[in-house]
Every structure is written in C-alpha cells, then in structure tokens.
Structure 1
Amino acid sequence: MDVDVQLLGRFRVTVDGRTTTETDWRRSRSVTLVKLLALAPRHRLHREQVMEALWPDLAPEAAAANLRKAVHFARQTLQASEVIGLNGEALSLAPDAKLTIDLERYEAAATAALKNKDAAACAALAPQYGGELLPDDRYAEWTQEPRERLQALHVQVLKGAGLWQEVLKVDPIDQEAARALMQAALEAGNRGEAIRLFQALRERLRIDMGLGPDRATVALYEKAVTPGDTAPKSIDEHVRGLMAWGIIHLHSGDFREAERKAQEARSLALAGELGREIGEASALVGLVAHMQGQWQTLFRSEFVKWVRQPLPAAGNVFDGHLCLAEFCLCNARGHADMANLSRELLTIAEDVGSVHGRALATLILGKAALFSGRLDEAEELLTRADELHAQAGALVGRALALHRLAEVALARGQRWKAGRLLQKGLNIAEQTWLTPHLLIRYTALAVEAATDIDQVAEAIRHGDRLIAEESTCQPCSMGFRVASAIALAEAGEIDQAGRRIDEAERIAGMWQGGPWVAAVWEARGVLRRAQGNNGLASALLHEAAARFGDLARIRDQERCLARAQGL
C-alpha cells in the first residue's frame, strides 16, 4: 500500500491513488488524528498522548471511547483499515505501507542544501515549498512548533538562494533581506526603491514590535537619502531617518540622544507641515519621557506650550500623546492623577480660549470616568469631547471619543446604539494617520456588539484580515484578540479560542502595567467554562476580577464577578 500525505498549503491523503481532501472527512477528530500521527516522530504516538491532545478535559474512559471512534472513522474515510496501526498502547500511521510526507521530503532536501551551502539547490528547492503547514489548523497548539520550525527553515532556503523579495513575503521584518534589497537598489541607481523598502520595514517594525530598524539598516537608508555629500532629498526622508535613530537610542538607553533626535525630527516636520510625522515625533518625545517616569510632567509642559499654538500643528502634537495618556489611565493611581491633571489643563485651555485643548482634557476626563465605572458621567464627558473635537476639526479625538461612547452603550446593554456609534466612528477613524491603531479597536467592539453568530463571525474574519494584511498595532490588537477568543469559546470553538488566548498572553507580557493580563485571565476563565471545568473557570474569573479591581476598573471587575456567579 502506498500512502502519500500532504501537509503544506493544504491537507490531503492519497492511498493507492485514491485522494481524500479536508472536505471529505465527516468527523473532525478522525482527520485530526491522522494529522497528529503525520507530524509525530516516526509517526507513532502513545494513546494517552493522543487523548490528551484531542480530549484534554474528558475522563480517561470517555476519551478512550472517543479515540476508538476516531480510529474507526479515519479508516472508513480512507477506505483502508491498515492506515491506522495499533500495537499495544501505541498508534501509528500506515506502519506497513510505503509512507511519504511532503514536509519530510522538503525538510530533508533543505537541510542538505543548507549544509552544503548550495545556492543552486536552494533556488531549485524554494518553489517546492507548498505553503503554510496545515493552514486550517493555524490555531491548534500542536501545530505551532512544527509550523515555526518549517517556516524558519524555508526562510533559510530563500536566503541561501538569494531570494530576498521572497524572504520579505514570509517575514516582512527580516532586516537582512531588507538591507540586501536596499543595497541592490542603490547599486542599480534606484534610490527611490531603497527608500521605499526602508519605509515599509520601519512601519512594520514599529507596528509589530514597537521597535525601529537597527543601526546597519538606518545607515544604509542614510546613504539612500544623502547621496555623496549632498543634503537629503526631502524633509520627510530626513525626518524618518532622525526618527529611526531616535528609536535606536531609546532602546539602547541613551534617552538624552533619543530625545534630541525626536525633537529635531519634530522641528523639521513642523517646518515641512508634515502632520503625521509631527504626531509620530511627538509620540517619541513622550515615550522617551515615559521610559524615565516623567511623562505626566512632560505632557503638562507640552500642553501649556501647544495649547496656544494654531491648528493643525497643535492637534498633531496632542494626537501623538493620546496613546500614552490612555496607558497612564490603566491603573488606580493613574485615574486620579490623570483626572486631576486634566482638570488643571481644562482650566488652562478655557483661559486661552483653545477648543482643541478643552477637547483633549475633556476626552481624558471621560475615559477616567468610564474606566472607574461612572457611566453617566463618562457619557456626558465623552459626548462633550466628541462635540469639541468636531468643532476643532480633530478626527483622531473624535474617533476615540466615539469608540468610548460605544463602550458605554455596550455596558448598558444597548447594542443597537453601540453599533450606530461604531459605524459613525469607524468612518472617521479610516481618515486618520492612526488608522492602524483605531481600526482594530473598533473591530474588537464590533465582536462584542454583534447580535448574532453570523455578525460575530464576520467581525472576527475582518479582524483577522486586519492583523494578517495591514500594519496593525499589536498592543491595540489585544482587545480584538481577547474579544474574539471569548466569542469563539462561547461558540464551542475551543482550539481556536485557546490559540488566540496564547497569542494575547504573549503580547500582554510585552506591555506590562495595563489591563491586558487581567483580560487574558478572564478569557481563560470563559474558555474553561466552555470546556465544562466550572471549578477552574470560577478561580480564573475571580483572579481576573481581583486584577481589574487593583486597577480600579470597576466595570470590568463586576463583569468578571458576574461571569463567575453565573457558573
């Protein structure tokens, strides 16, 4: 018997010329059993390993019964009783057949080509890579290690062949590939392409990792924008170079030099009337101060300085500080400190007649009230903030105010109103330079505001597309990741929910001090409830409630306690 298994790009099994695809399987656990065995060392697993992977929350007797059914249906679907072998306590895939698996063929050939440093072999092998390992099981935990291992191997093959453009398709933040393509563009006299490559890399690094390009990449960029001894071709190119160096200095701990680069970048951006760059440079100025525990002091001085300046420059500066303002509202002390500071700033703005200053201070006060659970006060302040931002023509502030007003509506169970606010705010968010931050936040609320399973599914698909295709801010994606995990757990999609929670937990660990660790605990509690483990679910939800309570997030605390009591 000949058995050929395809795992790359799609799942397909061919037995003696008869091909069975993913859609031919009527029982999901039977197909998963075959996939597990195909990935296992020597294609053998102890029955307890299989039961733990497929039915971790069932009693041994029930899991064993399910395993027997999975073996039966796998044999039936593939029309071959020998395809799943049983030898004592071990299960094996096609033990007496000629078994070939595309993943193993590719790994063996790739390892040999790389060991021999054979560029021609790597070039010939690259097209044979069939695609992502088991794409329909992207969120299954047991696929993660082999998927990551295989992707890393494929990237090395592409590098061995010098296929740098293909490397960036697989890993858009690979700086070695970006530099190779930039250097090739410069040698061909195409400075514009080198600059474009740098800008694309810089954007993805900033969004995905909160980092900037390394020194070697920035130095190559400066060669592109400063040919010979001439000045940079344009102000915006010079600003981007300064920002890149500023981020390098920030992460190396040289705060003084990081601030100097950020201030210089902002001055140039102001001279060139580059709105987005003004905002990004202001955000870097704020981040440098935040890393030294001095952001609130800086923000006050920035507000006092810029509240007297004309729009739109002042608005761009304020927009650059909004994320840090929200971060500082994430703990109990931050609520009080930021509220007190915002009242002071509101008085200053009223004294100088600044609509934009009043709008910003009112927005922060509204968020503080919302996070503290004072919904009536939050709605009044956020509605006023929306009106003031509309009067000032400040789109970012309006988008944030409407987003929080939708949260108020959801907290009151007014899904219809939340949906209306979301649509209004989304139309505004799409017009701003903070789109990578705002769209995924709105999608998170769309998941929570959905009124039926079809709307939930569509919102989740949209969020997944944003994360996969757009330069979406990772911290801002946390709300969507948690909301989608909870929705999927409640719909019985346990594997997908678990994988999303794992990814959310990884990102939460990178951004300490906010509410996301508590949110992950809540999501795990909902997942355990969906798995029927009410005791553990209750413990997790009470832990989430306690963590939200420590942050004075009263509304979130009450929701977790209500979930626990509902058990």
Structure 2
Amino acid sequence: MRVEIQVLGGFSVSVDGVAVAPGLWRRDRAAALVKLLAVTPQHRMHREQVMNLFWPEADSEVAGAALRKAVHYARKALGQNDLISTNGDSLALAPAADLVIDAEDFEAAASAALRQPTPEACGTAADLYRGQLLPDDLYFDWLDAPRTGLAQRHIDLLRAGRLWQRLIAVEPSDEPAQCALMQAALDSGNRADAIRIFNQLRQSLHMELGLGPSAEAVALYEKALAIPTVDPVSQTDRIRASLAWGLLHLHSGDFDKARAVAEETRALAMAAGLAREVGEASALMGLCAMMQSRWKEVFQSEFIAWARKTPDKVAQVFDGHLCLAEFCLCNAKGHHEIGLAAQELLSAAEGAGSLAGRGLALMILGEVALFSGQIGEAERLLTEAEALLAKAAASAGRVLALERLAEIALSSGRNWHAKRLIARAEGIAATSWLAPHLEIRLKGLSVRAAGSKEKVLEVISEGDRLLSLHSHGCQPCSMGFRVASASALAEMGELDQVGRRLDEAERISAMWHGGPWVAAVWEARGIQRRAEKNDARAVSAFEEAASRYASLGRPTDEARCRAQIAGASRGG
C-alpha cells in the first residue's frame, strides 16, 4: 500500500492514488494526529506524548478517551485501520506501507544539493518546497521547530545557489539578496533596476516604523543615482535616499541629525506632492522626539503649525504620527493630557480653517471621551469628525474614526451597524499608504462583529494572512486582532490555538509599556482560563485586567472585567 502525504503548502493525503476527501477530516484532532505523526521522525510517538501535546490540561483518563476517539476518526478517514497502528503504548503512521511525505523528499534533496551547491541543483531542490509547513496550523507549538527548520533550509538553498530573485520573493526584506541584485544591476549598467530593487526593499521594511535599509543598501542606491544618464534622477528618488540616511542616523543615536534630515526631507516631499514621503518624514521626526521624551510637545506644535501654515496638508503630517499618537493616547493618563491638548488643536484648526485639522482634533477628543466612558459624547464627536475627514479626504484619520464608531456600536449590541462601519472603513483603508496598519486594526473588530463560528474562523484566517504578508508590520496596530482572535477561539472551545496567540501578544505588549495591551492580554487570559474550566485562575486574570484598566482611567473596560469576575466566581 502506498500512502502519500502533503504537508508543505497545505495538507492532503492519498492512499493508493486515491485522495482522501477533505470533508473526511471534519474532526480536527483526527487530522492533527496524522499531521503530528507525519512530521515526527520515524512517524512514531508514545501515546503519553500525544496526550500531553493535545490535551495538556486534562487528566489521563479524559485525554486517553479523547486520543482513542481521534485514532478512530483518523482510521475512518484513511479507510484502513492499520494505517494508524496502536502497538503497545506507541502510535505509528502507516508502519507497513510505502509512506511518502513531501517534506522528507524536500529535506533529502536539499541535503544533497547543499553538499555541492550549484544554481541548478539548489533550484531543483527548492522546487520541492511547495510552501510553508501546514500553513493552516500556525498556532500549534509542536509545529514550530519543523516549520522553522524547513523554511530555513529553503532559504539556505536559495542563498547557496545565489538565486536572489527567488529569495526576495520569499523574503522581500532580505538585504544581502537585495544588495547582491543591486550590485549586479549596477555592474551591468542598469541603474533603473538598482533603483527599483531599493524601492522594493524600503517598501517591505515599513520606514514609518523606523525600519530602514542598511548603510550598504543606501550606499548602493546613491551609487545608482550618481550614474550619469540621459534621464535625470527624480526628486522622489533623492527624497527616498535622504529618508534612508535619516533612519540610519536615528539607529546610530544621533537624534538631532536625524530630525534635521527629516525636516529638510519633509519640506522637499511637501513641495513635490509626495504624501507617503511626507508621512514617513513626519514619522521619523516623531520617532526622534519619542527617543528624547518630547513626542507630545512636538506633535502638538507640529499639528498647530501645519494647520495654520498649510491647512490642507495637516492630514499628511498626522499620518506619520498615527501609531505614536494612538500609543500615547492609550497611555496611562495619556488620553486626559492629550484631551487638553486636542482642545487647543481644535481652536487652532478652526482659526486656520483647516477641515482636516478640525476633523483630527475632534477624532482625538472622541477617543478621549470613549476611553473615559462617555459613550454618547464619544459617538457624537466621532460622527462629526468622520464627516469632516471625509470632506478633507483624510483617509487614515477617517478610518480611525469609523473604527471607534464601530467599537461603540459593538458595545451597545448593534452588530449590524458595526459591520457596515467596518466595511466602509475597509474600503477606505485599502487606498491608504498606511493600509498595513489600518487593515489589521479593522480585522480585530471584524472578529468581534462576526455572527457565527464559521465567519469568526474566516476572519481570523484573513487576519493571519495579513500578519504573514506584512512580516515587518506594525505590532501595536496588530494587538487588537491578536487579542480578539485569541478570545474568540477560547470562547468557541478551540483552545489549542489560544495559548500561542496570547504568548505572542504578551511578548509585544511587554515591548510597549503603558498602553492598554497588557490589560487586554490579561482579560483574554481570563477568557482562556474560564474556557478551560479553571475558574479560580480566570478570576485572578480578570481581576488583574480590571485593576490595570482602572489605572488607565478606562471605566467601561474595567466594568466589563468586573462583570467577568462575577460570572467566573459563579462558575458560569
């Protein structure tokens, strides 16, 4: 009997050339058992190991019964009892069959190619890597090591074979590959290709978060710009080179130099009508100010100055400060301080006749009211802000206003209205250069608004794809989705994915001190523990979350956690 199993790029099984219908894997644990044995050396495991991986919180009797059930349904899907052997205390996959697993074929070919690497041998071996190991199971801890190992082996092949184009298709931010391609383009006199490759690199790094190309890449870029040709170097290219150098000064700790470069570059970008580069230069200024503990003062003076000087450009400047503004707004006591500042911003914007400035100031005031528990006032302010921002074509600010209005609708049980607001916001977000930030924020709300388990899982899958696509994306902006997806999965009983998601959210929250994310993770931990029937630990987690929300001055969030404490204390 021949059993073929695909685990790279997806999951499928065929027995003697006949594919097992996907519908036969309706039982998640049956499929998971086959996957586990497929990626385990010798395809054999002790039953206790399987039980500890799949049901770590259950006692041995309950876990044993669950394992027997999983074996039964796996055998049923495979159509042969002896394809899952239970000899003694061990489980084995197809021990008497001709077992072919694509990951093993790839590993063998890769090992052979890397012993004597040539572009042809490495390329042929790399062709066998059809994609990430079991991409639909990203949150199973036991897949981490084999998934990472296989992905790294694929990259090693591409690098050893000097297959740079294929490498950057997999890792767009791989600077050695990008630099090699830029150098090759320069060597062949192709300046345009070198410039294109650099711009591809800078786009993948999200410069508005302070991630920029290396000094080597920037030097190659400037070398390309210096090549004399009939076509003059565009102002856009010069501005992008300047931004990259500004980031290098930031990373070296020369904040004053970085700020000076950012100011000069932003003026050039403003004159050239480059909205994204204006935002990136503003972000660089904001990061310098944050490093020097001066962000709030800089943001306030920036906002007022631009509202008065060029009222139609204030939204572009705000876009660069978006992530820092949202972080500081959520900081302990930060929303009260920014609320006072926003009143001054509103007065300045009204005096200057800046639609975008008025809309952004009202949006900030609406957020302050929302966090302070003044829901009716928040809805009024945010609705007015969204209308003004729509007239001013300030897309990022408008998406944030719609996001907060959707939160209010969800909290009052108006899911249908929240879905409409989210749909509008998604359409606008897709047109913004800040789309990677805005879209993942909206996915968190979409998880909460989904009306069925199937829809929740669909939205979570979409959000996971966004996180995978934007591997250098904004971690703070992803927190709402991470927490919402973990909480929803826990409430649906899909506990095997929850711990890993919350561990990652906890890691990110620890890097951004002072925001609401630590409290949000504790609340999600409470939901997880309650789903595990561990009411004592659930109460402790909800109490910690409530305390942290209280310290942030967020009474609505605190009250929700207090209600959760009461429910968990009653065991319901």
**Alignment map for 1:100-179 (pairs within 5 Å):** 100-179=100-179
Partner of 1:60: 60
1:326 is displaced (CA, Å) by 1.7
Partner of 2:297: 297
Preserved contact between residue 444 and residue 484 of structure 1 (Cα < 8 Å): yes
SS in 2 for 1:308: helix
Aligned partners of 1:331 and 1:92: how far apart in 2? 53
Partner of 2:313: 313
Partner of 1:217: 217
Preserved contact between residue 312 and residue 354 of structure 2 (Cα < 8 Å): no
Partner of 1:227: 227
Q: Which amino acid aligns with 1:449?
A: A
Q: Which amino acid aligns with 2:332?
A: A
Partner of 2:189: 189
Deviation larger for 199-208 or 331-340: 199-208
Distance 1:129 1:450, change over 3 A: closer
Partner of 1:556: 557
Aligned partners of 2:100 and 2:410: how far apart in 1? 53
Partner of 1:513: 514
Partner of 1:544: 545
Q: Which amino acid aligns with 2:556?
A: R
Deviation larger for 449-458 or 533-542: 449-458
Q: Which amino acid aligns with 1:186?
A: L
Distance 1:8 1:337, change over 3 A: same
Q: Which amino acid aligns with 2:446?
A: A
Partner of 1:92: 92
Corresponding position: 1:336 with 2:361: no
1:95 is displaced (CA, Å) by 4.5
1:537 is displaced (CA, Å) by 2.5
Corresponding position: 1:504 with 2:470: no
Aligned partners of 1:208 and 1:58: how far apart in 2? 46
Task: Spell out, residue by residue over 1:302-354, the C-alpha distance to the aligned partner (whole angstroms, 9 max, x if none).
Answer: 23322211243333223322332221111232122212222233334444554
Partner of 2:484: 483
Task: Spell out, residue by residue over 1:361-407, the C-alpha distance to the aligned partner (whole angstroms, 9 max, x if none).
Answer: 32222211211222122223223323443454433333322222222
Preserved contact between residue 10 and residue 134 of structure 1 (Cα < 8 Å): yes
Partner of 1:565: 566
Aligned partners of 2:392 and 2:431: how far apart in 1? 16
Q: Which amino acid aligns with 2:157?
A: V
Q: Which amino acid aligns with 1:339?
A: G
Distance 1:82 1:453, change over 3 A: closer
1:64 is displaced (CA, Å) by 1.2
Q: Which amino acid aligns with 1:508?
A: S
Distance 1:479 1:275, change over 3 A: same
1:526 is displaced (CA, Å) by 1.9
Deviation larger for 86-95 or 125-134: 86-95
Preserved contact between residue 521 and residue 543 of structure 1 (Cα < 8 Å): yes
1:73 is displaced (CA, Å) by 3.9
Distance 1:389 1:126, change over 3 A: closer
1:470 is displaced (CA, Å) by 6.1
Q: Which amino acid aligns with 2:8?
A: L
1:479 is displaced (CA, Å) by 1.4
Deviation larger for 463-472 or 539-548: 463-472
TM-score normalized with structure 2 length: 0.90
Q: Which amino acid aligns with 1:314?
A: V
SS in 2 for 1:137: coil
1:178 is displaced (CA, Å) by 1.6
Q: Which amino acid aligns with 1:241?
A: A
Preserved contact between residue 82 and residue 94 of structure 1 (Cα < 8 Å): yes
Q: Which amino acid aligns with 1:357?
A: G
Aligned partners of 1:152 and 1:326: how far apart in 2? 36
Aligned partners of 2:480 and 2:341: how far apart in 1? 27
1:92 is displaced (CA, Å) by 3.3
Partner of 2:199: 199
Preserved contact between residue 208 and residue 474 of structure 1 (Cα < 8 Å): no
Preserved contact between residue 278 and residue 313 of structure 1 (Cα < 8 Å): no
Preserved contact between residue 331 and residue 552 of structure 2 (Cα < 8 Å): yes
1:227 is displaced (CA, Å) by 1.5
Preserved contact between residue 207 and residue 474 of structure 1 (Cα < 8 Å): no
Q: Percent identity?
A: 53
Q: Which amino acid aligns with 1:160?
A: A
Preserved contact between residue 410 and residue 418 of structure 1 (Cα < 8 Å): yes
Partner of 1:360: 360
Task: Spell out, residue by residue over 1:396-421, the C-alpha distance to the aligned partner (whole angstroms, 9 max, x if none).
Answer: 33332222222222222222332333
Q: Which amino acid aligns with 1:29?
A: R
Distance 1:398 1:48, change over 3 A: same
Partner of 1:397: 397
SS in 1 for 2:308: coil
**Alignment map for 1:448-467 (pairs within 5 Å):** 448-467=448-467
SS in 1 for 2:515: coil
Task: Spell out, residue by residue over 1:458-503, the C-alpha distance to the aligned partner (whole angstroms, 9 max, x if none).
Answer: 4334434444446854432221222222223322333344443344
Aligned partners of 1:77 and 1:319: how far apart in 2? 52
SS in 2 for 1:34: helix
SS in 2 for 1:91: strand
Deviation larger for 260-269 or 350-359: 350-359
TM-score normalized with structure 1 length: 0.90
Task: Spell out, residue by residue over 1:12-67, the C-alpha distance to the aligned partner (whole angstroms, 9 max, x if none).
Answer: 44556665465444543233223222222333322221101122232211111222
Deviation larger for 238-247 or 310-319: 310-319
Q: Which amino acid aligns with 2:290?
A: H
Preserved contact between residue 406 and residue 418 of structure 1 (Cα < 8 Å): yes
Aligned partners of 2:196 and 2:392: how far apart in 1? 34
Distance 1:188 1:474, change over 3 A: farther
Partner of 1:495: 496
Q: Which amino acid aligns with 1:259?
A: R
Preserved contact between residue 126 and residue 154 of structure 1 (Cα < 8 Å): yes
1:213 is displaced (CA, Å) by 1.3
Task: Spell out, residue by residue over 1:517-558, the C-alpha distance to the aligned partner (whole angstroms, 9 max, x if none).
Answer: 222222232233233333323322222222222222222222
Q: Which amino acid aligns with 1:365?
A: L
Deviation larger for 311-320 or 2-11: 2-11
Deviation larger for 531-540 or 201-210: 201-210
Preserved contact between residue 210 and residue 247 of structure 2 (Cα < 8 Å): no
Deviation larger for 164-173 or 73-82: 73-82
Task: Spell out, residue by residue over 1:112-169, the C-alpha distance to the aligned partner (whole angstroms, 9 max, x if none).
Answer: 4324444442122121223321233233221122111110111111111222222122
Preserved contact between residue 119 and residue 163 of structure 2 (Cα < 8 Å): no
**Alignment map for 1:403-418 (pairs within 5 Å):** 403-418=403-418
Preserved contact between residue 278 and residue 317 of structure 2 (Cα < 8 Å): yes
Q: Which amino acid aligns with 2:540?
A: A
Preserved contact between residue 232 and residue 238 of structure 1 (Cα < 8 Å): no
Deviation larger for 509-518 or 174-183: 509-518
Aligned partners of 1:538 and 1:450: how far apart in 2? 26
Q: Which amino acid aligns with 2:248?
A: I
Partner of 2:433: 433
Aligned partners of 1:482 and 1:130: how far apart in 2? 31
Preserved contact between residue 11 and residue 22 of structure 1 (Cα < 8 Å): no
Aligned partners of 2:76 and 2:425: how far apart in 1? 53
Aligned partners of 1:317 and 1:209: how far apart in 2? 15
Preserved contact between residue 11 and residue 21 of structure 1 (Cα < 8 Å): no
**Alignment map for 1:18-29 (pairs within 5 Å):** 20=20, 22-25=22-25, 27-29=27-29
SS in 1 for 2:92: strand
Deviation larger for 496-505 or 249-258: 496-505
Q: How many corresponding residue pairs?
A: 567
**Structure 2: gaps spanning 5 or more residues:** none
Distance 1:99 1:459, change over 3 A: closer
**Structure 1: gaps spanning 5 or more residues:** none
Aligned partners of 1:54 and 1:155: how far apart in 2? 31
Distance 1:118 1:423, change over 3 A: closer
SS in 1 for 2:240: helix
Aligned partners of 1:462 and 1:95: how far apart in 2? 37
